[in-house]
Amino acid sequence: MSLKQLLMIPGPTPVPDDVLRALSQPMINHRGPEYIALQNSVVAGLQTAFQTEFPVQIYPASGTGGLEAAVVNSLSPGEGVVACPVGAFGDRFAEIAETMGASVHRVATPWGEPVTCEALTAALAERPETRAVLLTHNETSTGVLNDIEALAAAARSVLPEVLILVDAISGMLAADLRPDAWGLDVVVAGSQKAWMLPPGLTFLGISPRAWEANAKARMPRFYFDFKRMAKSMATGQTPYTPAVSLIYGLEVALGRILGEGLPASFLRHERMARATRAAVEALGLRLFARSRHSPALTSVLPPEGLSARDIRSALRKDHGVVVAGGQGPIKDVIFRIGHLGYVSEADLLGTFSALERVLTAAGHPVEPGSGLSALERELAGGATL
Amino acid sequence: MSLKQLLMIPGPTPVPDDVLRALSQPMINHRGPEYIALQNSVVAGLQTAFQTEFPVQIYPASGTGGLEAAVVNSLSPGEGVVACPVGAFGDRFAEIAETMGASVHRVATPWGEPVTCEALTAALAERPETRAVLLTHNETSTGVLNDIEALAAAARSVLPEVLILVDAISGMLAADLRPDAWGLDVVVAGSQKAWMLPPGLTFLGISPRAWEANAKARMPRFYFDFKRMAKSMATGQTPYTPAVSLIYGLEVALGRILGEGLPASFLRHERMARATRAAVEALGLRLFARSRHSPALTSVLPPEGLSARDIRSALRKDHGVVVAGGQGPIKDVIFRIGHLGYVSEADLLGTFSALERVLTAAGHPVEPGSGLSALERELAGGATL
């Protein structure tokens, strides 16, 4: 028998059985009354999950498509953008803006650290023509959570009318994010993260300021056009065929998410992350992130002399535990443990038990159960899944 | 109990049980060996289904996204395009090209008819600077099948190097289409049609000539960029998270498609369409398409004095039979019966039995079984599902 798999990567995340089963429902007419009722219901649920009073749009696409939508709906070619990459996904967001014709300045931040308000305000003060700031809520490639509330306020203190576009793909539901209260303009989420859904949907929250910008934004767009989508959504439909099965899943997942409640979801993710960090350190390993550790995933540096790739390979082959590698320049430098969405305490315990044995077998002996005790001590504080 | 539904629309089409169940499989790492093997296998299957020797790309998007991909990967802003719309989806293809910055000339064809080689060659002869021709294989809004082989040859007889971009979303697998043999450059398909899958994936076949054009094409693109996709596909991956559950479904659906074989699939669709037309005419109704009737769907004009909307509504409410309305200017002028993909003879018989009763109840009396007899006579010729 092949090993029962523990999927501990920062997306796609494990999908609950009831959501998986919901995907298998028969097709319906996407212009008929059942679909219209379904879409109106999930859009209302998304709005609650997004903590916004404005309609949230759903596109059949990966999160990267959502980032492109945020850019092309907000900007005209040649307009100034200040990007704040702190890892591979921040780099991608900046590259999208550049590719689509914006004039992009990057605020440099070493990987493993968050962007600082000082660096952002300095960049904006030198570039008063800046039209939009690109921020990453949770950087999936490094495991760092940016302080979006403070960064948005800092940006507005320099340029009150600047647009704030946020990649919240791996952060939303794992950490608090308040588009309306914090003045964020376009906020992008992705189904395969803490939403407990398969990949294939991206969700976008859009502020009134973003809608004003949209009316003037001249980057060409059709598939990802906010206006076409809004017009069709007003009748409970979409401008082209929606990904019906994923919408079925979304309805069930939203029941779980709103049933738990956002504060409980944030606390649960924070506890799992804290426990993971405690266990990593108890095993004598180092965290790659130096501050503002992500509640969604933890990036780990292997012990001196061991390769991240070998550790991942042994975890998978000998124990059925799947963790992620690094990305870009730190591809084989770190491994990343995802603990967002439908991940339980038992999943974390299984992961660390396997990791203890893999380290020992690879010549980095650890006391059996030392990571597990650290985990349990941190988990003792309250309720998780 | 609510009525058992017969979904007789031209997409989303009914999905077989084994494909529906395949969607519910647990998530896996989209950068790991299981996913890589899965993707390489479905790409090989797609290539056979596409009748092409070149890799077929898969994007998590609706077919409209595939049309945008075809345009932005082939053209630079300002380049000349001759579009040949014969209905709402041809109009959309032209609108996408225009929106993304092409200079588009439309060959006018009345809805219900195919585009003629004469009209196309005349337009091209007057516009030698034309870079691309946009064609629709099967026009879903009217139920007309264009003669792509003849049109492509006609276009090349005037402009040997012109790019030929084909919307084959609702036509592929229902009617023959040979990208390599007929010299088509970008061919777009969509999962929710004869592929027997839910919506959410678009497939693109790309010729060597399209790749040459791609190297020079300057329309901005990121999400739909052929080159990024090809680079990642070379390692069995995608540049961003793929829609894993739909890929699971695709593997099962391809087993069915290649098991049946393409010639059998074309014959089956043609027989279902011929039977549908015979039944429509036996009931004294008229076909909207005047020639080159679609093998995928049939557009029907209601009898004088009855509205298409009322017929659709009675079919749905009293019999559980869901047919589509018209689109754009013929929204309530016609209704459309889809018979593509996983549709059986019994499904067609159930549809026409309901239609006979709805017509009689609405004051257009028909002999009970007259449509059914016509159906059965046409179906007696060979094997269907």
| DSSP string across A70-115 | HHHTT--TT-EEEE--SSHHHHHHHHHHHHTT-EEEEPP--TTSPP
Rg (CA), chain A: 21
Do B251 and B265 lie in one domain? The reply is no
B117-126 and B148-158 helices, crossing angle to 10°: 30
Count CB neighbours of B26 within 10 A.
15
Closest partner residue to A26 (CB to CB) among B11, B14, B219 is B14
Domain assignment of residue A293, given as a range: 6-12+261-379
Q: What is the pLDDT of residue B384?
A: 54
**Which run of H or E residues covers position B67?**
helix B63-72
- Angle (nearest 5°) at CA A68 between B133 and B140: 40
Nearest-by-CA chain A residue for B320: A28
Sheet of A6-8: strand order equals: A6-8, A321-325, A335-338, A297-301, A286-287
Q: What is the largest CA-CA distance in chain A?
A: 62
Instruction: Kindly list the residues from chain A whose CB atom is less than 8 angstroms away from the CB atom of residue B13.
Output: 27
Do A180 and A48 lie in one domain? The reply is yes
Domain boundary (A235, A259, A283) is at A259
Provide the H-helix boundaries in chain A.
17-23, 33-50, 63-72, 88-99, 117-126, 148-158, 179-182, 208-216, 226-233, 244-260, 262-282, 308-319, 345-361, 370-379
B30 and A240 in contact by Cβ < 8 A? Answer: no
Contact predicate A14/A342, CB 8 Å: yes
Nearest-by-CA chain A residue for B14: A27
Nearest-by-CA chain A residue for B248: A198
Domain count, chain A: 2
Distance CA A239, CA A276 (A): 43
Within a domain: B198: yes
Do A337 and A289 lie in one domain? The reply is yes
Within a domain: B67: yes
Distance CA B308, CA B330 (A): 10
- Angle (nearest 5°) at CA B276 between B275 and B282: 90
Contact predicate A141/A296, CB 8 Å: no
Is the pLDDT at B382 greater than 90? The verdict is: no
Do B199 and B211 lie in one domain? The reply is yes
Instruction: Kindly list the residues from chain B whose CB atom is less than 8 angstroms away from the CB atom of residue A15.
Output: 26-27
Q: What is the pLDDT of residue B385?
A: 53
Distance in angstroms between the alpha carbons of the first and the last residue of chain B: 28
Q: What is the pLDDT of residue B249?
A: 98
Do B44 and B80 lie in one domain? The reply is yes
Instruction: Kindly list the residues from chain B whose CB atom is less than 8 angstroms away from the CB atom of residue A37.
Output: none
State the average pLDDT for chain B: 97
Within a domain: B30: yes
Nearest-by-CA chain B residue for A190: B241
Within a domain: B349: yes
Within a domain: B384: no
Domain boundary (A201, A235, A259) is at A259
Contact predicate A22/A249, CB 8 Å: yes
Q: Select the residue from A3, A4, A24, A27 to test the B interface by mutation, using most B Cβ atoms within 10 A.
A: A27
Do B163 and B65 lie in one domain? The reply is yes
Q: What is the dihedral of CA A173, A177, A180, A185, to 10 degrees?
A: -100
B244 and A190 in contact by Cβ < 8 A? Answer: no
Distance from CA of B245 to the nearest CA of A (A): 7
How is residue A51 written in tokens?
A: 């903590």
pLDDT category of residue B1 using cuts at 50, 70 and 90: confident
The predicted-structure confidence for B93-147, as pLDDT tens digits, reads as follows 999 999 999 999 999 999 999 999 999 999 999 999 999 999 999 999 999 999 9
CA nearest to B89, candidates B28, B158, B145: B145
Closest partner residue to A192 (CB to CB) among B12, B13, B241 is B241
Closest partner residue to B64 (CB to CB) among A23, A190, A223 is A223
What phi and psi, each to the nearest 5 degrees, are found at residue B111?
A: -60, 140
How is residue A174 written in tokens?
A: 């794992």
- Angle (nearest 5°) at CA A203 between B191 and A325: 80
DSSP state at residue A295: S
Tell me which amino acid residue A292 is. R
Distance CA A218, CA A321 (A): 47
Distance CA B180, CA B161 (A): 15
Closest partner residue to A96 (CB to CB) among B25, B27, B222 is B222
Q: What is the pLDDT of residue B362?
A: 96
Within a domain: A385: no
Contact predicate A35/A29, CB 8 Å: yes
CATH number where B332 lies: 3.90.1150.10
A–B: how many Cβ contacts below 8 A? Answer: 177
Closest partner residue to A62 (CB to CB) among B190, B241, B325 is B241
Neighbouring residues of A292: CB distance < 8 A, sequence distance ≥ 6: A113, A114, A144, A145, A146, A147
User: Got the DSSP string for A248-274?
Assistant: HHHHHHHHHHHHH-HHHHHHHHHHHHH
Do A207 and A70 lie in one domain? The reply is yes
Domain boundary (B259, B281, B300) is at B259
Distance CA B11, CA B8 (A): 8
Do B161 and B249 lie in one domain? The reply is yes
Q: Select the residue from B20, B29, B72, B227 to test the A interface by mutation, using most A Cβ atoms within 10 A.
A: B29
Instruction: Kindly list the residues from chain A whose CB atom is less than 8 angstroms away from the CB atom of residue B100.
Output: 220, 222
CA nearest to A165, candidates A62, A45, A251, A82: A82
Distance CA A240, CA A243 (A): 10
Is the pLDDT at B186 greater than 70? The verdict is: yes
The predicted-structure confidence for B198-212, as pLDDT tens digits, reads as follows 999 999 999 999 999
Distance CA A107, CA A85 (A): 7
Do B42 and B173 lie in one domain? The reply is yes
Instruction: Kindly list the residues from chain A whose CB atom is less than 8 angstroms away from the CB atom of residue B9.
Output: 29
B200 and A64 in contact by Cβ < 8 A? Answer: no
A27 and B12 in contact by Cβ < 8 A? Answer: yes
B220 and A99 in contact by Cβ < 8 A? Answer: yes
Instruction: Kindly list the residues from chain A whose CB atom is less than 8 angstroms away from the CB atom of residue B30.
Output: 12, 199
Tell me which amino acid residue A238 is. T
Do A194 and A162 lie in one domain? The reply is yes
B110: left (phi over 0), alpha (psi -120 to 50) or beta: beta
Do B173 and B241 lie in one domain? The reply is yes
CA nearest to B282, candidates B197, B206, B375: B375
How is residue A260 written in tokens?
A: 């738990």
Within a domain: A384: no
CATH number where B237 lies: 3.40.640.10
The stretch B40-57 carries a mean pLDDT of 98
Q: Select the residue from B23, B104, B247, B317 to test the A interface by mutation, using most A Cβ atoms within 10 A.
A: B23
CA nearest to B177, candidates B137, B132, B204, B117: B137
Q: Give me the residues of chain A with pLDDT under 70, please.
A: 382-385
Neighbouring residues of B368: CB distance < 8 A, sequence distance ≥ 6: B356, B357, B360
What's the pTM value of the predicted model, to 2 decimals? 0.97
**Which run of H or E residues covers position B373?**
helix B370-379
Is the pLDDT at B383 greater than 60? The verdict is: no
User: Got the DSSP string for A191-231?
Assistant: TTSTT---SSEEEEEE-HHHHHHHHH--S--STT-HHHHHH
**Which run of H or E residues covers position B270?**
helix B262-282
Q: What is the pLDDT of residue B381?
A: 74
Within a domain: A93: yes
Distance from CA of A141 to the nearest CA of B (A): 13
What phi and psi, each to the nearest 5 degrees, are found at residue A60?
A: -75, 95
Residue with tokens 């994010």: A177
Q: Are strands A130-136 and A163-167 parallel, antiparallel or unpaired?
A: parallel
B15 and A26 in contact by Cβ < 8 A? Answer: yes
Contact predicate A168/A117, CB 8 Å: no
How is residue A318 written in tokens?
A: 């000998």
Nearest-by-CA chain B residue for A325: B31
Do B158 and B276 lie in one domain? The reply is no
The predicted-structure confidence for A215-258, as pLDDT tens digits, reads as follows 999 999 999 999 999 999 999 999 999 999 999 999 999 999 99
